[in-house]
Structure 1
Amino acid sequence: MKRYHLFFVIYLIALVGFSQNNTVNIDFTTQKFIGSESELNREKYFAMHGSYTDNGLADNPEYLFDDLGIKFGRTFGGPRPYSKINKNNLSIENAQNLGITNSNRYKKALLYNKYKTEDLIITNHPREAFQYKGDYQKAAAFNAEYIKHAYPVMPKYYEVMNEPFVHAKDFVKTYQETNDVIIEMSKFHKIVAEKVKAKVPNILVGGYSAAWPEYDKNNFAIWNTRMKVFMDLAGENMDFFATHIYDGRNVEGSFNYRSGSNSEAILDLIESYSYQKWGKVKPHLISEYGFTAKGLQGKPYSPELNGVCLMSYNKILMSLLDKPDRLLKAVPFITGKAAWFYKSEENKEGHPYPWVLIRKTKNETYEYTHLKKFWELWKDVNGNRIYTTSNNPDIQVNAFSEKEKAYVAINNLADNEQTINLDYLKQSKALIKNLTIRRSFISENGIPQLLYVKEKNTLSEITLQAGETIILDYDINPTKFTNSVTETNNYSNTCLQPITAKQPITFTIEHVKTSKKGNATIKMGLGRAHNLSKKPTVKINGITVDVPSNWAGYDQAGREQFFGVIPIPTNIKNTKNGNNTVELTFPDTGGFVSSVILNIEN
């Protein structure tokens, strides 16, 4: 168990917070929209990495899917033109027959009748989905025909391959050849999308399912040779861009934490380049997220590891909840029983897969792991988004209400406990009848805890442990929204600009709609060495604004360099309708401004 205690200690040490007076404002009377989205879509956010075809989940489905509200998210049930079973038979007839067989198998699944859903991602392993310099047209036609016949309920999302680029070296002899493989994989995505959407018009096709989005590495070489190449070659045909976000170390790269500013910078760069190329932001599909690291598989079940995973799920979720207008679905990497792993060669002693919801015990029975606490914490959270603010990027907040219920979720990204003032705006405080606090945290011995605490009085402040997530579950008097706030993200027409000392970098942001009331924030994505300045002189429309020394999450000291988003608040009166300019001037040379986005709440 010492191994997992060490992970927990590293996790907490790595998260560096900033001490300040924290205030969260809560307004039950004001509805908030992000873009056109206000209502919480639970299928979008509360799925598991599994599907209704998993018979291992059929023992107690009412508890999992009715009571806890777990949704289905993703399955490796996509077409497999190069599987061993298929023997490279890419004929249309074979695709139809295999598809019909699969459809019949789905219909026989124990959960099919009650829990079948179209809100599902299908994908497959690169070794079964792709052949380097193969007949892409023929394989794509096979895939299209297979998909047309293989599903009694057509899935919404098709990821052509799972994490293909980190497996590029599996197709060639030398690492130097992998860039050619990435180019070919990108071309294959484009052809598959064309063929599939011609046969199955309603399915959304995308990729590339990035396992290692460490885009700033080697002076943004990973961006330029992977995601940029993919977007340039295949992006026009993609309905979404798929990314995996993991704290820890996923497949390649250094051990670090994407939750907070780093994941923001990754997704903002993808959005910004999408806008630069097509004048619109193509949506994200976060088909896996959570915590991973080397050496976890084949080890005894660890409640401590469950606790570290739960912290990462909640941190990343809180950030993704801020993106409902540009996110199709987000799937925490929590699987069912993963029975296949007990027979795996890397699991000689028959231990559970580290990310299972249900594990086999030593006496061959099954029991739930602590990972079910993810859905227990978020159980019944529903409704329309209500207006909340936090004055500290380390204190994340999202809130929703419906009928006589309100739910305010708060997460602490800092490495130390934080006391938060709760400021109820307008008549919100008078509406509260009862309050139950759900607290998700890790105990001193590393075991994940979920406590429910009933409060007799309305809270004016609350203290959160490092990494703790709470949900304030309110019973409120019936109320109607009397105000609304709409948040928009406005993108510059350039991104990834090199930094030269004392040379202004100007970003033009067009088609802005603003007002005299509300909030405005410049979201500055920055990738540069730790010893270089993160506080440029910033001007918006010629007006100088102060740059804070704080951002969401840790200081990134363990990374090769800083890559994150620094939010820069500015008075909304400094913005204007139409074109706006943001000018950044750094005192030193090196690195890049990866993106500049003007966030406005009207």
Structure 2
Amino acid sequence: MKKQVILVIYSLLISIVSLAQNTVSIDLTTQKFIGTKSELSREKYFSMHGSYTDGDLAFDAVYLFDQLGIEFGRTFGGPKPFKKDKTTEPKLDQAYAEAAKNVERYKNAPMYESFKTRDLILTDHPKEAFQLNLNYEKVAEYNAEFIKKAYPLMPRYYEVMNEPFVHAKEYVASWDETEAVIVEMSKFHKVVADKIHAQVPGIMVGGYSAAWPEMELKDFWHWNTRMKVFMDTAGESMDFFATHIYDGRNVEGDFNYRSGSNAEAILDLIEAYSYKKWGKVKPHLISEYGYTSKGLVGKPYSAELNGTCLVSYNKILMSLMDKPDRLLKALPFITGKGSWFYNDKRNPDQHPYPWVISRKLSNGTYKYTHLIKFYQLWKDVEGKRIDITSNNPDIQVNAFGKEGKAYIAINSLADEVQEVTLDFLNKSNSLINNTTLRRLYLNEKGIPKLVFFTNISELKTLELKVGETVILECDVNAYEFENSLHEQNYYTKTYLQEIIANKTLEFTLEQVSTGKKGRASLKMGVARAHNLSKQPIIFVNGKQVKVPTNWAGYDQKPRKEFFGVIQIPVDIKYLKEGNNQVEITFPDNGGRVSSLILNVEKYN
């Protein structure tokens, strides 16, 4: 009995120590730049999957788009060259006629005058955008002529097709033929992009809008036959690479959580290969992200599902907010009323589409779903980026300041309650007069709750529930930044290296600019069986660095194998100007180092 009591006390002490180790450090006096970006773009991060042409959204436009500050994001309003005829190339006179109708539709949209914007993504469903082995040049000419004439205000982005590769089977008789279809779809992207670039100034073209980026599957067979093929075939002509990041399962693949280290590994691999091919990182466009799974469509409305989606939105958002220099736009998959779905054959019982912001009740009226809470939580958050760090990769942080306000966002990726200590550096807490604490969490039944606590004079610690996001809205005195911190990522042309026991993998990180004061880390993407080591021996310019045992998000045990980024702190004094050498040695066989990126933050 005595031994059991001692063990219980010991376990509690370990738990308390573990909780106490979470520290978030905030320095309101230091402005942070990532690349050249410091100002938070709400257009980039707080859009919805809809357009100002969506009449359904006009029902409460002032509240949604003026007061909450929601931006528009994406429309399936592209050229649709095969909308009417899927067997022959479309004719240009059809393009002109359809474009003329489209212009009028846009100009007559109820929100056109007040809410029109260029910051919009055009796309089409594959069945309306592509047919196998037809004349791609003629189709591209149709698309270019349509886009030139179809929009009174030219959208900024054009995704040629939405999630095309998961539809490859629809064009052939058997699965073993689909890889050839993927090559053809990639060729089509290039032809279309080249034509658009030649004829339509001011619009960016990209793809392939990956629905199922399980890159590591079958020793990166998925990567080699999907994204790599696309980048090799069409990448030179792409202005961006589009990816969908979902927790759960999007169309195919394993059920898993991409938020955290897995999403980082996916995007880092794309960046690494971009740098290897072109010596530069082409930007991402995340045209959908959130939570999905099979069996959701056509089911009764679920507040619990809304809650699960909200947790995923915030986890993924907090990660994407760290990439403003190489991310064009990121859209949480939140749609409008989804009135089209009430007539869908998959929905005989007239249930709302699972990802709508407003659902129809049995009496025919509409009511906001819990998904509105995503935008209510992030309302008014804007300003210049402020230096903020977390000593635990499971505690995500971002902070921004504008005149009279500072916003400190903290999110938990952990599977248990976390206690966080707030450490305000350089006496920056003395600038704060008052704090409103916004908390978005799930109650014991999984129902999302958004609660505001006002008039807080001082806040030193926070207890974060599982999946909780908090925002400290601080009233601050007028002040000017005293310091600046500049973050830059550096790449190597060595990627996707096979791991052989005790064989040293060598990487050269190129054109590094370092300094005497700041922070640095290696972001190591690694794919390995769960029973293999995630802690190699690493030397940076001959100096050994310690590899942590923790990473962002869960242990990935439900996945076939681990694929994620492990962030490894490096003393900035170990770095040198120019090229830097990294050596990595694992003690066991199996898996790959998918990418290695050096992150450097220098104080000025």
Give the whole-Å Cα distance in 1 for the aligned partners of 2:574 and 2:251: 44
Give the whole-Å Cα distance in 2 for the aligned partners of 1:199 and 1:313: 37
- For residue 505 of structure 2, what is the amino acid of its counterpart? I
Give the whole-Å Cα distance in 2 for the aligned partners of 1:431 and 1:564: 39
Give the whole-Å Cα distance in 2 for the aligned partners of 1:194 and 1:565: 34
Residue number in structure 2 paired with 1:452: 452
Give the whole-Å Cα distance in 2 for the aligned partners of 1:494 and 1:133: 36
Residue number in structure 2 paired with 1:351: 351
Identity %, equivalent residues: 63
1:79-228 equivalences under 5 Å are 79-84=79-84, 88=88, 90-228=90-228
Residue number in structure 2 paired with 1:240: 240
Report how many aligned residue pairs link the two structures: 585
Residue number in structure 2 paired with 1:580: 580
SS at match of 2:265: helix
Residue number in structure 2 paired with 1:388: 388
Deviations 1:311-331 (A, max 9, x none): 000000000000000000000
1:351-370 equivalences under 5 Å are 351-370=351-370
* Residue 92 of structure 1: how far off its partner (Å): 1.8
Deviations 1:11-43 (A, max 9, x none): xxxxxxx86601101111100000000000000
Residue number in structure 2 paired with 1:525: 525
Determine if the alignment matches structure 1 residue 434 to structure 2 residue 427: no
1:375-414 equivalences under 5 Å are 375-414=375-414
- For residue 500 of structure 1, what is the amino acid of its counterpart? I
Residue number in structure 2 paired with 1:15: none
Determine if the alignment matches structure 1 residue 284 to structure 2 residue 281: no
Gaps of 5+ in 1: 1-17
- For residue 92 of structure 1, what is the amino acid of its counterpart? L
Give the whole-Å Cα distance in 2 for the aligned partners of 1:455 and 1:542: 52
Determine if the alignment matches structure 1 residue 475 to structure 2 residue 475: yes
Q: Pick closer, same or farther for the CA change 1:71–1:308 going to 2, 3 Å.
A: same
Residue number in structure 2 paired with 1:254: 254
* Residue 427 of structure 1: how far off its partner (Å): 2.4
* Residue 336 of structure 1: how far off its partner (Å): 0.3
SS at match of 2:371: helix
* Residue 213 of structure 1: how far off its partner (Å): 0.3
Deviations 1:402-434 (A, max 9, x none): 011000000000001101110000020110100
* Residue 86 of structure 1: how far off its partner (Å): 8.3
Check the 8 A contact 1:81/1:88 in 2, yes or no.
no
Deviations 1:423-459 (A, max 9, x none): 0000201101000000000001111000001243311
Gaps of 5+ in 2: 1-17
Residue number in structure 2 paired with 1:421: 421
Give the whole-Å Cα distance in 2 for the aligned partners of 1:104 and 1:112: 11
Give the whole-Å Cα distance in 2 for the aligned partners of 1:530 and 1:452: 41
Give the whole-Å Cα distance in 2 for the aligned partners of 1:96 and 1:266: 40
- For residue 584 of structure 1, what is the amino acid of its counterpart? I
Aligned Cα RMSD in Å? 1.0
Residue number in structure 2 paired with 1:24: 24
TM-score by length of 2: 0.96
Residue number in structure 2 paired with 1:7: none
Give the whole-Å Cα distance in 1 for the aligned partners of 2:474 and 2:338: 37
Residue number in structure 2 paired with 1:492: 492
SS at match of 2:509: strand
Give the whole-Å Cα distance in 1 for the aligned partners of 2:45 and 2:456: 31
Deviations 1:281-328 (A, max 9, x none): 000000000000010010000100000000000000000000000000
- For residue 350 of structure 2, what is the amino acid of its counterpart? G
Check the 8 A contact 2:370/2:448 in 1, yes or no.
yes
SS at match of 1:380: coil
Give the whole-Å Cα distance in 1 for the aligned partners of 2:195 and 2:476: 52
**91-100 or 485-494, which deviates more:** 91-100
SS at match of 2:426: coil
- For residue 45 of structure 1, what is the amino acid of its counterpart? Y
Give the whole-Å Cα distance in 2 for the aligned partners of 1:499 and 1:19: 35
Residue number in structure 2 paired with 1:267: 267
Residue number in structure 1 paired with 2:299: 299
SS at match of 1:370: coil
Give the whole-Å Cα distance in 2 for the aligned partners of 1:510 and 1:217: 29
**194-203 or 66-75, which deviates more:** 194-203
Determine if the alignment matches structure 1 residue 543 to structure 2 residue 533: no
- For residue 431 of structure 1, what is the amino acid of its counterpart? L
* Residue 264 of structure 1: how far off its partner (Å): 0.1
Residue number in structure 2 paired with 1:14: none
SS at match of 1:587: coil
Give the whole-Å Cα distance in 2 for the aligned partners of 1:243 and 1:204: 15
Q: Deviating runs (4+, > 4 A) in structure 1? A: 85-89
Q: Pick closer, same or farther for the CA change 1:20–1:262 going to 2, 3 Å.
A: farther
SS at match of 1:59: helix
- For residue 599 of structure 1, what is the amino acid of its counterpart? N
Residue number in structure 2 paired with 1:230: 230
- For residue 71 of structure 1, what is the amino acid of its counterpart? E
SS at match of 2:254: coil
Check the 8 A contact 2:86/2:131 in 1, yes or no.
no
* Residue 87 of structure 1: how far off its partner (Å): 7.6
* Residue 333 of structure 1: how far off its partner (Å): 0.2
Q: Pick closer, same or farther for the CA change 1:55–1:86 going to 2, 3 Å.
A: farther
- For residue 244 of structure 1, what is the amino acid of its counterpart? H
Check the 8 A contact 1:28/1:481 in 2, yes or no.
yes
Give the whole-Å Cα distance in 1 for the aligned partners of 2:480 and 2:86: 58
- For residue 487 of structure 2, what is the amino acid of its counterpart? E
Deviations 1:470-498 (A, max 9, x none): 00000010010010000001011111111
- For residue 118 of structure 2, what is the amino acid of its counterpart? E
Check the 8 A contact 1:404/1:476 in 2, yes or no.
yes
Give the whole-Å Cα distance in 2 for the aligned partners of 1:431 and 1:501: 53
Check the 8 A contact 2:433/2:457 in 1, yes or no.
no
Check the 8 A contact 2:310/2:371 in 1, yes or no.
yes
Give the whole-Å Cα distance in 1 for the aligned partners of 2:312 and 2:84: 36
Residue number in structure 2 paired with 1:597: 597
Deviations 1:105-144 (A, max 9, x none): 1101011010010000000000000001111000010000
Give the whole-Å Cα distance in 2 for the aligned partners of 1:259 and 1:447: 20
- For residue 93 of structure 2, what is the amino acid of its counterpart? E
Residue number in structure 2 paired with 1:314: 314
Give the whole-Å Cα distance in 2 for the aligned partners of 1:166 and 1:20: 46
Check the 8 A contact 1:157/1:203 in 2, yes or no.
yes
- The one of the two structures with greater contact order (alpha-carbon pairs below 8 A, sep at least 6) is 1
TM-score by length of 1: 0.96
Check the 8 A contact 1:29/1:483 in 2, yes or no.
yes
Give the whole-Å Cα distance in 1 for the aligned partners of 2:505 and 2:141: 47
